[in-house]
Chains A and B, each alone.
Chain A
Amino acid sequence: MNSNIKSCPVIAKHIKIALVGQPNVGKSMLINSISNAHLHVGNFSGVTVDKTEVLFDYKDYHFTVVDLPGTYALNDYTIEERVTSEYLSDNDYDLIVNVIDSTNLEKNLQLTAELLSVGKKIVIALNMSDEADKEGIRINEKYMSQLLGIPCLKVSAVTKEGITDLIDSIIKEFELEDIEHKLIFSEAVEEEISKIVTYLSKHKYEDAKSHRNIAINLLKNNKTTYAKLHDDPIWTELQLILIEASKHVELHHDSDDIKEAFASEYASFNKGIVTEVLDNKNLLEEKTLTDKIDDILIHPLLGIPIFLFLMWGLFQLTFEIGAIPMDYIDAFFGWFGDTVGATISNDDIRSLIVDGIIAGVGAVVLFVPNIIILFIGIALLESTGYMSRVAFLLDGFFHKFGLHGQSFIPLVTGFGCSIPAYMSARILKNDRDRLLTLFIIGFMSCGARLPVYVLFVGAFFSPEMAGNILFFIYIGGALIGLMAAKILKMTAFKGADEPFVMEMPKYRLPSIKLVWHTVLTKTMMYLKKAGTFIAAASMLVWFLSNYPHNLVIEQKYENKIEVAVSQEEKSTLKNSLAEELLEQSYLGTIGKFSEPLFAPLGFDWKMSVALQTGLAAKEVVVSTLGVLYSLGSDVDEENNSLIEMISKNIPFASAVAFIVVIMIYLPCLAASVVFTREAGGIKYFFYLIGFTSIVAYSLAFIAYNLTLLITS
């Protein structure tokens, strides 16, 4: 973790800070406002939670700030909460900087009260002080520091006020001896604490943390503290005292839940602090700007149409504007492949590099414009506070299918491309909701599947009907997806409904710097991780479809091509060569081998192979069919002769079954890689294979037999 330490002078002192705060308090903004800071973005180990580390030097100190995910309390409900509370209790750091939204002091102090019993030095940053000034909120931070025994400083990440003072007090606090924070409980609880403290002192229990801190944590059922004392001989007696003490506390609060009792304790402590230090001139609660905006945006009738319009706009932008650079990127990689290819004399190596690696990586880079635009949109929706309104509006509908209101964004994105869709599923904070959404995204037919649909629909339906059939395919896929969600929810993701309790933050103008930073890091992560995997995987697919070489066939055709007179004849021969080569390649062998498996769906070996190459990318299905039906690999969905070949060679029922499989089966390789990363483990990838294959196969089987029945 501290790989950067090497670069800084040996004499400097290191201060490692854990930055903690509730969501929407402007933590990331604060980090961004530190000048000369280096940002390192990564993941917390094992989870898909972004971890930002900030490094900077100030005076004789070397600072490392770890930006912990925003959390309302130190629970372990969401991944964010878990990461934060685990980090605070298990990791090595010097002090906590608690960022607080000055305009909502009492609620923010709820977390502060919990932090006080972590047993570390704390500095409080009263952020958004400029906003508080505007709202007529005055906080007496000097008095607050006295009351809590913690330095409290007014800062503003927006105006950069107070940042230097904050860093100075961090240094001052760092150099001080340990001090006990002034967290005072009600008399009843204080009595129980002192009983435990007396016991610990009597038995001369030694620990880095104070006896009072241990006593509080024991009463709060803190797991780490329990584990520590559990093996100590004093435990037998201490346990009895504890049980008695907990009973008293619960009785005092008329509750059967010790955590609830402590929450009440904290709440009254905080109320006391707030009454002492807060002076709110704006006592007359007038309608705030947020109230006014909410009147429109979450209006019972207008809310959903407005949202749909905004989403429509975002997707128009994503796929219309995103398509412009796509052509250039495509052309660039084509040119790059040709240029590089020209310098390599060995056929095999050239093919590997040009057709395998460059083409594969090019396909990944192709999506970057879409990803950037979409993520700018999502970052804007999130940072303005609109995203939670969306969840509020849509949760009713989605909950019927076992999904969450916020699942909407990834699912709709899935119609464009599954890759950004999987990535945007991160907005779902709950593990189970996110996983379920990830499994459903593939049912939303992505843009790459369109060529296949157009090809088959064109082959079997009149042009007047084609549009309706296409629409039916898309809607059908989405409906099957929602059904699948319901089924998964009742089986694999069974269990109590995840509660839906979320804050609707104040509307704020987004910070351009922050939005750009978020988008940039996400895009880089996509390029770095997906890029390396994809390059390797494309090499594999390339290998399977090109090997083993069969010199006999090649020789035979080369001779024939040489003697062929017309250009037409030559290209026909080249196509048959490609077909024969593919047939005896590893991929062809697999196709032949798997033919019996697909026979119940009415597929021949060519269709089976097309499905398998389609795993690399869905567009490849069309070009594979082109090769296999001997039309050369340069075909597209509007190629009339391919349409003719297909309607001649493939029975209608098989075609229907084929479309069903394309709609449902495993997304392309690039998407699968991203899925695996976002789901958090390779085992989910195997679940996805199993799940999509079973659904695709059974539905295709039904569709095949049903069509046979109707048409016969």
Chain B
Amino acid sequence: MKKLSDCKKACIVKIVKLNADSELKQRFISFGIMKEATIEILGYSPAKSTIEIKVGKTRIALRSKEAELIEVKKI
């Protein structure tokens, strides 16, 4: 399955599953990062340590390590 962290800049994907533990999952969900949500990858910081995405109208930054926990598929 494709991970969010593998996606290139400007890709638009849909979330299939969150593999995070319950606390992080809550955190994701409170930002709108949840199953069925559509995500646009806006870019990466130097060394790809953090990733910027757009969910709906909201821009969100997260670590690549956390992005690995998000399974996505291309649309």
A673 on the B face (CB < 8 A):
no
* Centre residue among A300, A393, A500, A501 by max chain B CB count within 10 A: A501
Q: How far is the CB of A68 from chain B (nearest CB, A)?
A: 15
A263 on the B face (CB < 8 A):
yes
Contact A503 B60 (CB under 8 A): yes
* Centre residue among A103, A304, A396 by max chain B CB count within 10 A: A396
Query: Which listed residue, A107, A267, A304, A396, touches B58 by the CB 8 Å rule?
Result: A107
Note all chain A residues with C-beta closer than 8 A to B41.
none
Contact A391 B36 (CB under 8 A): no
A349-394 contacts to B (CB < 8 Å) = 388, 391-393
Contact B49 A501 (CB under 8 A): no
B18 on the A face (CB < 8 A):
yes
* Centre residue among B27, B28, B31, B56 by max chain A CB count within 10 A: B27
A130 on the B face (CB < 8 A):
no
Contact with B along A101-144 (1 / 0, CB 8 A): 00110110010000000000000000000000000000000000
Say what secondary structure dominates the interface of chain A: helix
Note all chain B residues with C-beta closer than 8 A to A267.
32, 34, 36-37
Contact with B along A489-517 (1 / 0, CB 8 A): 00000000101111111100000000000
B74 on the A face (CB < 8 A):
no
Contact with A along B26-59 (1 / 0, CB 8 A): 1111111111110000111111011010011111
- Knowing A298-B43, A300-B43, A395-B49 touch, does A388 contact B61 (C-beta < 8 A)? yes
Contact A395 B52 (CB under 8 A): no
Note all chain A residues with C-beta closer than 8 A to B59.
290, 294, 503-506
Note all chain B residues with C-beta closer than 8 A to A500.
50, 61-63, 66
Note all chain A residues with C-beta closer than 8 A to B57.
103-104, 106-107
- Knowing A259-B26, A392-B50 touch, does A499 contact B35 (C-beta < 8 A)? no
Contact A263 B60 (CB under 8 A): no
Q: How far is the CB of A583 from chain B (nearest CB, A)?
A: 56
Note all chain B residues with C-beta closer than 8 A to A391.
61
Contact B46 A259 (CB under 8 A): no
Contact B43 A260 (CB under 8 A): no
Contact A77 B26 (CB under 8 A): yes
Contact B50 A263 (CB under 8 A): no
Note all chain B residues with C-beta closer than 8 A to A290.
59
B24 on the A face (CB < 8 A):
yes
State in angstroms the CA–CA spacing of A294 and B18 once bound together.
28
Contact with B along A22-65 (1 / 0, CB 8 A): 00000000000000000000000000000000000000000000
Contact B22 A259 (CB under 8 A): yes
**How many chain B residues touch A (Cβ–Cβ < 8 Å)?**
38
B8-30 contacts to A (CB < 8 Å) = 18, 20, 22-30
Contact B35 A504 (CB under 8 A): no
State in angstroms the CA–CA spacing of A304 and B29 once bound together.
30
Contact A501 B25 (CB under 8 A): no
- Knowing A263-B29, A264-B34 touch, does A300 contact B46 (C-beta < 8 A)? yes
Minimum CB distance partner of A24 in chain B: B58
Query: Which listed residue, A397, A399, A497, A501, touches B61 by the CB 8 Å rule?
Result: A501
Note all chain B residues with C-beta closer than 8 A to A435.
none
State in angstroms the CA–CA spacing of A188 and B72 once bound together.
26
A99 on the B face (CB < 8 A):
no
Q: How far is the CB of A349 from chain B (nearest CB, A)?
A: 58
Contact B45 A75 (CB under 8 A): no
A629 on the B face (CB < 8 A):
no
Contact A395 B63 (CB under 8 A): yes
Note all chain B residues with C-beta closer than 8 A to A73.
26, 29-30
State in angstroms the CA–CA spacing of A399 and B18 once bound together.
23
Contact B46 A501 (CB under 8 A): no
A257 on the B face (CB < 8 A):
yes
Contact A106 B47 (CB under 8 A): no
Contact B35 A396 (CB under 8 A): no
- Knowing A396-B50, A499-B66, A504-B52 touch, does A264 contact B35 (C-beta < 8 A)? yes
A72 on the B face (CB < 8 A):
yes
Contact B52 A392 (CB under 8 A): yes
Minimum CB distance partner of B60 in chain A: A503
Contact B52 A77 (CB under 8 A): no
State in angstroms the CA–CA spacing of A502 and B23 once bound together.
15
B2 on the A face (CB < 8 A):
no
Q: How far is the CB of A252 from chain B (nearest CB, A)?
A: 13
Contact B61 A104 (CB under 8 A): no
State in angstroms the CA–CA spacing of A503 and B27 once bound together.
11
Minimum CB distance partner of B37 in chain A: A267
Note all chain B residues with C-beta closer than 8 A to A504.
52, 59-61
Contact A503 B34 (CB under 8 A): no
Minimum CB distance partner of A497 in chain B: B65
Note all chain A residues with C-beta closer than 8 A to B56.
104, 106-107
State in angstroms the CA–CA spacing of A392 and B47 once bound together.
12
Q: How far is the CB of A433 from chain B (nearest CB, A)?
A: 13
10 contacts between A and B (CB under 8 A): A73-B26, A104-B58, A106-B57, A257-B25, A260-B18, A260-B35, A263-B34, A294-B59, A396-B50, A503-B59
Interface residues, chain A, with chain B CB atoms under 8 Å away: 72-73, 75, 77, 103-104, 106-107, 110, 255, 257, 259-260, 263-264, 267, 290, 294, 298, 300-301, 303-304, 388, 391-393, 395-397, 399, 405, 497, 499-506
Among all A-B residue pairs, the 4 with the closest Cβ atoms: A396-B49, A73-B30, A72-B30, A504-B59
